[in-house]
Amino acid sequence: MRKNKSFRSAFTLIELLLVMVIIVILASIVVPKMTGISQRGNKTKATAEISSFKTALQMFETDCGRFPTSEEGLRALKEAPAGVQNYKPGGYMDDVPATDPWGHPYIYKCPGTHHPDGFDVYSWGPDGHEGGGDDIGNWSENSQ
CA 89 – CA 91 distance, rounded (Å):
6
As a whole number, mean pLDDT of residues 96-109 equals 93
Nearest CA-CA partner of 88 in 78, 96, 97: 78
Q: What is the mean pLDDT of the chain?
A: 86
pTM, to two decimals = 0.71
How confident is residue 142, by pLDDT bands cut at 50, 70 and 90? very low
- Catalogue all structural domains in the chain, each as residue range(s) with its CATH number: 18-81+90-143 (3.30.700.10)
What would the pLDDT profile of 44-83 be if each residue is shown by its tens digit?
A: 999 999 999 999 999 999 999 999 999 999 999 999 999 8
Q: What share of the chain is helix, strand, coil (3-state, %, to 5)?
A: 40, 10, 50
Angle, alpha carbons 87-92-93 (nearest 5°): 150
Work out the number of other CB atoms within 10 angstroms of the CB of residue 49.
22
